[in-house]
Amino acid sequence: MKFRNAILITLLLLSLPAAVMSSNLNEIIKGVVKHAHTGESIPGVHVQSEHGTSGTITDKNGLFELQIEEADSYLTVSHIGFSGKRIPLSEVCSCHGKLEIALVPVQFRGEELLITADRNQMQHSGIYGSSKTRSVEDHMSGISGLDMVTRANMAKDPVIRGLRDGRVNVLIDGMRLTPACVDGMDPATAYVETDNLQSIEIGRGFENGTGKQTAPGGSVNFSMVRPSLNSGFRASAETGYQSVSRQQFYQGSLSHGEENWAFRLSGTFRDAGDLQPGGGGRIDGSGFRKGNVMASVLYEASPSHRFNLRYIGDFAGKIGYPSMIMDTRRADAHIGGLEHAWSNPFTGVHSITTNLYINRVEHWMDDYDRDVGDREVMRNMYMPMYGETVTSGFTSELSASRSDHLFNLSLEGFRIDAFADMVMEHTDPSVRDMYLVNLGDVVQQNLIFSGSHTWFAGSGWTFATNIRGEAGMNRLNNESARATYRAEYNGEIELEPTALAYQVGIKAKNEISSRLSAGFSLSSGTRIPDHMERYGYYIYQPLDGFFYIGNPELTPERSTQAELFTRLGSDQSRVSGSLSLWVNQMDNYIAGLRADDLFKRMQNMGRATLKGFEVDASVRLSDRWRGSGSIAYVLGTHQELEEPLPMIPPFKGHISLQRVSESVQLEGRFRWAASQNRIAEENSLETETGGYALLDLFAQVPLNRSVTMQIGMENMLNTFYIEHLSVNSMPAPGRNVNLSIQINL
Amino acid sequence: METIRRLPVFAILLLVVLTSACSDLNSNETINEPDLMKIGEFTDNDVTVIAYTDRPLEVGYNDIWFEVHEDGAPIENLHFHFNTMMDMEHHSHASPYGEPGHHRDDEYNLYHGWAIFTMPSGDMGTWELQLTIHDQAHTGFEANGIIEIDVEPSNRVKTFMTEDESRYVLTLVGPKAPSVGMNELIVALHKRESMMNFPPVLNANMEFEPWMPSMDHGSSNNVSPVHEENGFYIGQVNFNMTGDWELRFDLEIDGVEIDQQAFEIDF
């Protein structure tokens, strides 16, 4: 309660500086911001004076007007997805007319994958940002505050600030995708390849001021690559090899763009053998094989209307999960969507983007290749499992501005249909097969409205507020599953619960100087329990070795978050960096309550608190050399149980040194993690993990204008280590020599 | 004079009333064939008795229904003497049973009884139903007969002897058709006082747990059976999946543990 009062007081205080602010403005600059390659005007670009004393955003035609003070020497121009610019005002004022600013899209340079965290471009994708054959997990591995749950040699699950699963939105172009495996063997990352992506947008914690779909932990949005108009024919191919798992990969793409239409076709195939951890032999049964195709068609019906039809098909054969009791036999995903982008529909409205989508995931797993007579869990039992989900929905986002005010409105609706079951076949043929429904034709339907308002208030202040309302409804249609839940909860249970959730937040940022900004955000919101938490039945959770039973009567979990942040410099600065200090207090915390030595029931379990920090820094040592580094720390405590929260990543970080040039590029990287001894022992069966330090080295060599070679060695010292978020302590990869050749035509 | 003229009418009415009362219950209705399995019949003194069941008779608890009619006209308000008898080569024995009441039931409009068979028919011996049926006042007709029956094996009956050499019959009555979820659990406990006498045990205490031996776990929210009436105990069992289950019972009488028994169920 005190915390909420603090938010209200802060809201009041926030209004004061805006009211008392005065400015000393004496010149007006007019200009237009355009796309450097297409010449199209760009609406919504942030334009600020050096000291942040004034700022604005471009209108639907990319136009802006800005009043500046005498003391200002530079104008900063920034927009997500583009390289920012810092323009001397002396040049601006000498032009005596409309200033024209051309922004270069970041992803266009060598078709690099753009990675952002909290809307800041991250430098840690390294020199291999243009490599299509690196997995999406590799590209995300250097983001502070983001960790990955490892279950196998692929398909890692994102963890943001210690939260995962339903507390983190993992989206593909804003589309929701529901894993079909109830044991978490197919997170959304399993179904996208780097080749599919234009950018990965990571939000840490509630994202205030973005109007985006938001969750207590944050979000990862895989933004899909779109064909480019007027691009002519392009083709690329890449092949490579990784020694640590004897993985071969092949990727190819073909695209063509005319004046008002374009298409892109691409595919990736991976074939990996058994993984070799540091200093040891290979882990039997850890290989995998999968293919991925993508087709995308862009049609510009008029300058204001663009349609993008896209499809991703991902098809995996056997995927070995040696740390778990089963392997994936087959997994198919079909992801399709139609996007309509309407530019400048009304005065002051920059765009309305609407997306209709549907995706279907099927997942088969079994343990037919295992020695089931020699294990502790489910001995002498084969357990083939099947899971299927269909997720359909729409999103519609509106972006508008008026004077110094930017507005984002979003409406989203989605429906999840999920089914999963398992058969237990005893090795003794005289024992009858057992059958269990894990998800009995579950339906989840949610409708979400969100809106945000950003005010560039002058004097360097930017204020943002946002609000979100959500209504959710669940159904359990399978009669056997309904009977099961009535039995588990003594018949007195609502099997078709409805719930409401909300989120409100504020964010204030001040440009203290041209190089330094600082601010804070406060937010509070609730999360409707997901379909697994409500209806998952007999779900084996290898993270702690318990079988979980859902609870249809869970109430929404509340999260109250506060964050202090500061940012030094910008992408163009010689020295740049950021610091975030945050705390997340969760009430009605949803977790499994230990019922006996085998089962846990999902419950609202009092209060849990997470707090931590992230530090990122980047320094341009010379024209060619750049250094960067990050550290992150999370402390999680479950007050109700008086013990640490389980699966909290250890204190970790990295330092890298990059040589960036048109010729040979080099990168050396030092990764480390401290030991994690704060583990949950009462309600979970977590184990401690030791610290580690690793050295990596990469090089990218252009062999000619069209051919580029990438070669690298990760974990050069072949160190044996186990990441704390590795399920059942599966060892991490040992020394890995990787080589790839990329051809662009 | 008028009264005398009406005497024949009164006499006829009186005759009709007396006839209907003394014939114990004939009516002008005709019997219908119920949606049940016929297991046998006999006719004695012009009264026909037909026995039905809802599934093949098996070791354990069985519902048995009777139609009693005379020339196709159902007879009402009867008194049944009903016994089960296993005829073995050197001796015979009965088993627990429940005689039908005086009136027809609502479900099938038949006389409903039950029997617990403790062993299957076979080379060891054969089962028969011994019946004596008469009107309630026992002033009218009486029909005697035997219906021979086949009893299939099952594992729904446990007969056991305690340390004091008392013998009991524990019967799993329900669920008859188990399903995933919560099921009504019904067990019957009878004491074998003699080969022909099986009185119900009314004061037992039962602790109950279902278990899947192949999975090595049980289920939650089960309710141990408590005595309802006439030796029948009712509780609840939660089957959270299909497969092989053991229904485990710890039995106590007067605070003394008399035995542990388990029924195996596959579904």
For residue A130, what are its two tokens?
Answer: 């243009």
- A71, A104, A137: which is the final residue of a domain? A104
- Which band of pLDDT confidence, cut at 50, 70 and 90, is reported for residue A374? confident
Tell me if chain B has a CB within 8 Å of the CB of A377: no
The candidate with the shortest Cα–Cα distance to A175, out of A409, A386, A351, A416, is A416
R_g of chain A, CA atoms, integer Å? 26
- Which band of pLDDT confidence, cut at 50, 70 and 90, is reported for residue A209? low
User: Does A254 lie in the same domain as A353?
Assistant: yes
Chain B: nearest CA to A545, how far in angstroms?
Answer: 15
Gap between the Cα atoms of A47 and A55, Å rounded? 6
Q: Verify whether the Cβ–Cβ distance A484 to B180 is below 8 Å.
A: yes
Gap between the Cα atoms of A447 and A528, Å rounded? 11
CB crowding A63-83: b at 16 or more within 10 Å, else e: ebebbbbeebebbbbbbbbbb
Gap between the Cα atoms of A260 and A274, Å rounded? 47
Cα angle A721, A725, A727 (rounded to 5 degrees) comes to 90
Domain enclosing residue A59, as ranges:
23-104
Tell me if chain B has a CB within 8 Å of the CB of A426: yes
Looking at the domain assignment, is residue A541 inside a domain? yes
DSSP annotation string for A612-627: EEEEEEEEE-SSSEEE
Q: What does the pLDDT look like over A218-233, one tens digit per residue?
A: 989 888 888 988 889 9
* Conformational region of residue B202, where left means phi above 0, alpha means psi within -120 to 50, and beta covers everything else: alpha
Rounded to the nearest integer, the mean pLDDT of chain B is: 88
* Conformational region of residue A627, where left means phi above 0, alpha means psi within -120 to 50, and beta covers everything else: beta
The structure tokens 């997170």 sit at: A187
Nearest by CB: B241 against A428, A434, A488: A434
User: What residues does A476 pair with on adjacent strands?
Assistant: A442
Is residue A36 a contact partner of residue A103, using CB atoms and an 8 Å limit? Answer: yes
User: Does A112 lie in the same domain as A96?
Assistant: no
Q: Is the ipTM of this complex over 0.90?
A: no
Give the pLDDT score at A119.
Answer: 66
Give the pLDDT score at A50.
Answer: 64
**Using beta carbons and an 8 Å cutoff, which residues of B are at the interface with A?**
179-182, 212, 214-215, 217, 219-221, 238-244, 266
Measure CA A681 to chain center: 29
Nearest by CB: B221 against A378, A428, A488: A488
Looking at the domain assignment, is residue A3 inside a domain? no
User: Does A567 lie in the same domain as A601?
Assistant: yes
**A561-572 mean pLDDT:** 87
The candidate with the shortest Cα–Cα distance to B219, out of B200, B203, B240, B198, is B240
Q: What domain count does chain A have?
A: 2
Q: What does the pLDDT look like over A233-283, one tens digit per residue?
A: 999 999 999 999 999 999 999 999 999 999 999 999 999 999 999 988 899
Looking at the domain assignment, is residue A228 inside a domain? yes
Give the pLDDT score at B166.
Answer: 93
Gap between the Cα atoms of A680 and A688, Å rounded? 9
Say which range, A150-159, A203-212, A372-381, has the weakest mean pLDDT. A203-212
For residue A366, what are its two tokens?
Answer: 């079994």
User: Does A127 lie in the same domain as A251?
Assistant: yes
- A104, A127, A151: which is the final residue of a domain? A104
Q: Say whether pLDDT at A16 is over 50.
A: no
User: Does A177 lie in the same domain as A290?
Assistant: yes
CATH number, domain of A270, equals 2.40.170.20
Gap between the Cα atoms of B44 and B126, Å rounded? 22
Give the pLDDT score at A394.
Answer: 96
For residue A213, what are its two tokens?
Answer: 């779909």
Chain B: nearest CA to A374, how far in angstroms?
Answer: 15
Higher pLDDT, A98 or A111: A98
User: Does A115 lie in the same domain as A84?
Assistant: no
Q: What does the pLDDT look like over A503-528, one tens digit per residue?
A: 999 999 998 887 899 999 999 999 99
Is residue A330 a contact partner of residue A311, using CB atoms and an 8 Å limit? Answer: no
Q: Say whether pLDDT at A94 is over 70.
A: no
What is the chain B residue with the closest CA to A433? Answer: B243
Show residues of chain B in contact with A491, CB under 8 Å: 182
User: Does A427 lie in the same domain as A354?
Assistant: yes
| Strand A261-272 versus strand A247-257 pairing type | antiparallel
Tell me if chain B has a CB within 8 Å of the CB of A551: no
Grouping H, G, I as helix, E, B as strand and the rest as coil, residue A2 is: helix
3-state helix, strand, coil split of chain B in percent (to 5) is 10, 55, 35
- Which band of pLDDT confidence, cut at 50, 70 and 90, is reported for residue A211? low
The candidate with the shortest Cα–Cα distance to A650, out of A684, A697, A686, is A686
Give the pLDDT score at B29.
Answer: 67
Nearest by CB: A486 against B181, B215, B217: B181
Q: Say whether pLDDT at A109 is over 70.
A: no
Task: Give me the residues of chain B with pLDDT under 50, please.
Answer: 1, 13-27
- A61, A89, A104: which is the final residue of a domain? A104
What is the amino acid identity at position A702?
Answer: P
User: Which DSSP letter does residue A573 get?
Assistant: S
For B96, other C-beta atoms within 10 Å of its C-beta total 25
Grouping H, G, I as helix, E, B as strand and the rest as coil, residue A485 is: helix
Nearest by CB: B180 against A424, A480, A598: A480
The candidate with the shortest Cα–Cα distance to B93, out of B140, B127, B123, B142, is B127
Give the pLDDT score at A458.
Answer: 80
- Which band of pLDDT confidence, cut at 50, 70 and 90, is reported for residue A542? confident
Phi, psi at A213, each rounded to 5°: -60, 130
Show residues of chain A in contact with B239, CB under 8 Å: 487
CB < 8 Å from B in window 580-599 of A: 595, 598-599
User: What residues does A335 pair with on adjacent strands?
Assistant: A312, A359
The candidate with the shortest Cα–Cα distance to A200, out of A218, A223, A175, is A223
Nearest by CB: B242 against A431, A434, A489: A434
What is the amino acid identity at position A508?
Answer: A
Top mean pLDDT of A80-89, A162-171, A360-369, A659-668 is at A360-369
Looking at the domain assignment, is residue A10 inside a domain? no
User: Does A114 lie in the same domain as A86?
Assistant: no
Give the pLDDT score at A376.
Answer: 77
Domain locations along chain B: 37-149, 157-266
Chain B: nearest CA to A192, how far in angstroms?
Answer: 35
Q: Say whether pLDDT at A55 is over 80.
A: no
Residue of A422, A426, A432 to mutate, interface with B, max B Cβ within 10 Å:
A432
Say which range, A51-65, A239-253, A607-621, A673-687, has the weakest mean pLDDT. A51-65
**A353-370 mean pLDDT:** 95
The structure tokens 């507005």 sit at: A407
Residue of A423, A426, A488, A538 to mutate, interface with B, max B Cβ within 10 Å:
A488
Give the pLDDT score at B17.
Answer: 42
Phi, psi at A728, each rounded to 5°: 55, 30
Higher pLDDT, B161 or A490: B161
Phi, psi at A624, each rounded to 5°: -110, -20
**A204-213 mean pLDDT:** 69
- Do you find a cis peptide bond into B225, omega within 30 degrees of 0? no
The candidate with the shortest Cα–Cα distance to B66, out of B162, B130, B155, B11, is B130
Give the pLDDT score at A13.
Answer: 37
Contact residues for B246 (Cβ-Cβ < 8 A; gap 6+): B210, B211, B212, B213, B262, B263, B264, B265
Give the pLDDT score at A685.
Answer: 79
User: Does A658 lie in the same domain as A610?
Assistant: yes
What CATH number was assigned to the domain covering residues B157-266? 2.60.40.10
Is residue B62 a contact partner of residue B116, using CB atoms and an 8 Å limit? Answer: yes
Give the pLDDT score at A506.
Answer: 94
Rounded to the nearest integer, the mean pLDDT of chain A is: 86
The structure tokens 């010379």 sit at: A622
Nearest by CB: A433 against B238, B239, B243: B243
Class of domain B37-149: mainly beta
Percent of chain A surpassing pLDDT 90: 53
Give the pLDDT score at A12.
Answer: 38
User: Does A594 lie in the same domain as A719?
Assistant: yes
User: Does A235 lie in the same domain as A284?
Assistant: yes
Q: Say whether pLDDT at A629 is over 70.
A: yes
Is residue B149 a contact partner of residue B39, using CB atoms and an 8 Å limit? Answer: yes
Give the pLDDT score at B24.
Answer: 46
DSSP H or E segment with residue B38: strand B37-44
Tell me if chain B has a CB within 8 Å of the CB of A492: no
The structure tokens 């013990």 sit at: A643
Q: Say whether pLDDT at A21 is over 60.
A: no
User: Does A147 lie in the same domain as A94?
Assistant: no
Q: What does the pLDDT look like over A300-332, one tens digit per residue?
A: 999 889 999 999 999 999 899 988 888 999 999
User: Which DSSP letter does residue A139 get?
Assistant: H
Q: What does the pLDDT look like over A464-481, one tens digit per residue?
A: 999 999 999 999 999 999
**A621-639 mean pLDDT:** 93
Show residues of chain B in contact with A484, CB under 8 Å: 180-181, 240
Q: Verify whether the Cβ–Cβ distance B215 to A480 is below 8 Å.
A: no
Give the pLDDT score at A5.
Answer: 52
E-strand stretches of B136-255: 142-149, 157-161, 167-174, 181-191, 204-212, 217-218, 223-229, 232-239, 244-253
